[in-house]
Chains A and B, each alone.
Chain A
């Protein structure tokens, strides 16, 4: 039986709940990227906050807090097999009833750790590489992450820019987080074109010039630069835009 969910974390946790309390799941997929097969049956699971909470508490209690964080991050990844990977991890954890995240080498644990790392690296990268434009008092940032990390990223900025108004827009997923006075809303969002005013243009100009002059010519090392900022991350970074 394949379980299909809406892509939300609570949806995923509800699938795990159903796996234990109704029918065993062979695999879990996001409904939007599920390929219907003739062999496997499938069942659509709607997120249920109460059931989800029970599962997340059980994971924290029986495995560890770290494990729950790993699962959450992996659920945000764009890996097609993440449902199965999480299912295997949780099954193993509930059998062992201890913090299995330290058994790095184990086949049920290793994939989780690997994907967790990928997602958290991207989160960390964008906490630095995201660029806001000041549009008459609203800070607007556009980016294109590999993984669906907007809700993690926004938490970082909601603290840092507590008293600002800002929007973080995931171009690929057409999803935006809107923040104002302590509350965040994540919603579907269409791309917008905007005109920047002269202050914004001037600040960008200053930044670009700073970026150019802080580099030491005698030490030029473009290869290292490409390793740190791959081309796909450059399209929205002011200093790399011609």
Chain B
């Protein structure tokens, strides 16, 4: 017990920089034999002192790494306590936690222990042990190990709900400096292979109902923000490509926390760029749910997101000629462009309009954030902003209302 406790501490500590913890995307009832189910919306089980949700038991199988990525606390050249779990230990821990409803499932990752193939094989064995021996039917997210054999990665895909391979840095140049053993092309290769395999699997399952499911919750990845000199424009363009070409479900951004002093990295005293990370998540949200394209938000000329205002309102300031918008007239996609209106309230407005015109008072009930929206809309022909439609004046009015809100809301 003491041994497990010591290992758990080391390997949880080592896994904490992986931000993904979502357990969403798969709706699955208990299969009648074992334990577990999965809920499409995902379930958060608790929140840690940093305000992040805990949904999955997130651990490394081993932090014994042969790679030397400069930004990573597990790299081979770091003098650091090392530990490894056996597949059996991880399976037991997962089962005991799951039974007590501490967690929604497992998020298993690993440092490169001996070789990529050896590591990936170990991950596969753990997953198969959980699924076949313990009849675990809960959520499993597994990390694909860079440079591991594609067949091993695919094998994991038949036990896991979600598979992710962290790109960490959006350009080959940054990778070369900070992660000399990785290169972008070989990182994207398995992502593209799995993307195709997911589509084939979906088609197969249309014909053969009982064909085994292949990572039904899709793929995700993560990029570090602030470790390299890449601009927000580079990050968002990379994400757009990952969503469009590779069909990724999610891209996560993680504010880089300096763990080591190296000449080509921010100094150890640098605070993690939490605000920048937050803005990237907001922009990412706009791309996934608000039908924005990365090109609309940033360009070669305008490389970084405004830290003082959220990307949607910044976009509005740059496109004032499109406002004010009459909420009773425009289509859904145009409603989505209004700051203070989201997919839920936009849908409600459309439905309400079938019955009677939407009133200004009604907007509030529908969940529209009027203190933001009022400057950008007319309602039954009337403008309620009370000031000129001038970005500078609106900016002043919105002032510090912006962002006293918590930073990590979208986890």
- Docked Cα-Cα span, A239 to B101, in Å, equals 12
Residue among B58, B271, B348, B359 with most chain A CB within 10 A: B348
Q: Contact: A130 with B46, CB < 8 Å?
A: no
| Contact code string A186-224 (vs B, CB < 8 Å = 1, else 0) | 000000000000000011011101110111111111111
Contact residues in A for B52 (Cβ distance below 8 Å): 215-216, 219
Contact residues in B for A130 (Cβ distance below 8 Å): 101
Contact residues in A for B17 (Cβ distance below 8 Å): 216
* Of the residues B35, B46, B257, contact of A237 by C-beta under 8 Å: B46
In the complex with contacts A128-B45, A206-B5, A225-B48, A218-B257 CB distance below 8 A: yes
Q: Using a CB-CB cutoff of 8 Å, which residues 64-113 of chain B contact chain A?
A: 93, 96-97, 99-102, 104
In the complex with contacts A211-B48, A229-B46, A103-B355 CB distance below 8 A: yes
Q: Contact: A139 with B100, CB < 8 Å?
A: yes
Q: Is A163 among interface residues, defined by CB-CB distance under 8 A?
A: yes
Chain A residue nearest to B31 (CB atoms) is A162
Q: Is B362 among interface residues, defined by CB-CB distance under 8 A?
A: yes
- Docked Cα-Cα span, A130 to B46, in Å, equals 10
Interface size classification for chain A: 35 or more
B316 to chain A, nearest CB (A): 25
Contact residues in B for A213 (Cβ distance below 8 Å): 8-9, 12-13, 16
Number of B interface residues at 8 Å Cβ cutoff, please give it: 63
Chain A residue nearest to B42 (CB atoms) is A128
B385 to chain A, nearest CB (A): 21
Q: Contact: A159 with B37, CB < 8 Å?
A: yes
Q: Contact: B352 with A163, CB < 8 Å?
A: no
- Docked Cα-Cα span, A224 to B16, in Å, equals 18
* Of the residues B96, B101, B366, B406, contact of A224 by C-beta under 8 Å: B406
Contact residues in A for B34 (Cβ distance below 8 Å): 163
Q: Is A160 among interface residues, defined by CB-CB distance under 8 A?
A: yes
* Of the residues A134, A211, A220, contact of B100 by C-beta under 8 Å: A134
* Of the residues B8, B13, B43, B407, contact of A221 by C-beta under 8 Å: B407
Contact residues in B for A205 (Cβ distance below 8 Å): 5
- Docked Cα-Cα span, A164 to B100, in Å, equals 11
* Of the residues B8, B36, B354, contact of A160 by C-beta under 8 Å: B36
Q: Is B39 among interface residues, defined by CB-CB distance under 8 A?
A: yes
Q: Is B331 among interface residues, defined by CB-CB distance under 8 A?
A: no
In the complex with contacts A104-B348, A202-B1, A132-B46 CB distance below 8 A: no
Contact residues in B for A106 (Cβ distance below 8 Å): 355
A17 to chain B, nearest CB (A): 28
Q: Is A238 among interface residues, defined by CB-CB distance under 8 A?
A: yes
Q: Contact: B46 with A211, CB < 8 Å?
A: yes
Q: Contact: B30 with A162, CB < 8 Å?
A: yes
Q: Contact: B101 with A219, CB < 8 Å?
A: no
| Contact code string B25-60 (vs A, CB < 8 Å = 1, else 0) | 000011011111101010111111111111101100
Q: Is B351 among interface residues, defined by CB-CB distance under 8 A?
A: yes
Q: Contact: A210 with B57, CB < 8 Å?
A: yes
Q: Contact: A160 with B46, CB < 8 Å?
A: no
- Docked Cα-Cα span, A141 to B354, in Å, equals 46
* Of the residues B36, B49, B54, contact of A220 by C-beta under 8 Å: B49
* Of the residues B15, B32, B354, contact of A162 by C-beta under 8 Å: B32
Q: Is B393 among interface residues, defined by CB-CB distance under 8 A?
A: no
Q: Is A131 among interface residues, defined by CB-CB distance under 8 A?
A: yes
B108 to chain A, nearest CB (A): 14
B404 to chain A, nearest CB (A): 10
Q: Is A68 among interface residues, defined by CB-CB distance under 8 A?
A: no
* Of the residues A124, A159, A164, A224, contact of B99 by C-beta under 8 Å: A164
Chain A residue nearest to B344 (CB atoms) is A104
Q: Contact: B352 with A105, CB < 8 Å?
A: yes
Contact residues in B for A132 (Cβ distance below 8 Å): 99-101
Contact residues in B for A103 (Cβ distance below 8 Å): 351-352, 355
Q: Is B4 among interface residues, defined by CB-CB distance under 8 A?
A: yes
* Of the residues B49, B359, B409, contact of A215 by C-beta under 8 Å: B49
Q: Contact: A215 with B50, CB < 8 Å?
A: yes
Q: Using a CB-CB cutoff of 8 Å, which residues 307-352 of chain B contact chain A?
A: 348, 351-352
Q: Is A228 among interface residues, defined by CB-CB distance under 8 A?
A: yes
Q: Using a CB-CB cutoff of 8 Å, which residues 157-193 of chain A contact chain B?
A: 157, 159-164
- Docked Cα-Cα span, A67 to B59, in Å, equals 43
Q: Using a CB-CB cutoff of 8 Å, which residues 263-285 of chain B contact chain A?
A: 271-272, 274
Chain A residue nearest to B11 (CB atoms) is A213
* Of the residues B41, B96, B355, B365, contact of A203 by C-beta under 8 Å: B96
B3 to chain A, nearest CB (A): 11
Contact residues in A for B99 (Cβ distance below 8 Å): 132, 134, 139, 161, 164
Contact residues in B for A221 (Cβ distance below 8 Å): 49-51, 406-408
Q: Is A110 among interface residues, defined by CB-CB distance under 8 A?
A: yes
A-B contact pairs, 19 of them (CB 8 A): A102-B354, A124-B43, A128-B101, A134-B100, A163-B35, A202-B1, A203-B96, A205-B5, A211-B46, A213-B16, A214-B13, A215-B50, A216-B52, A218-B271, A220-B49, A223-B51, A228-B44, A228-B47, A238-B100
| CB-CB nearest 3 A-B residue pairs | A224-B51, A221-B51, A215-B48
Interface residues in chain A, defined as those with a beta carbon under 8 Å from any beta carbon in chain B = 102-106, 110, 124, 127-134, 139, 141, 157, 159-164, 202-203, 205-207, 209-211, 213-225, 227-229, 237-239
Apart from the given pairs A139-B99, A238-B100, A239-B102, 13 other A-B contacts in the complex at a CB distance below 8 Å: A102-B351, A102-B352, A105-B352, A105-B358, A131-B101, A159-B29, A161-B35, A162-B35, A213-B8, A218-B272, A222-B49, A224-B408, A229-B46
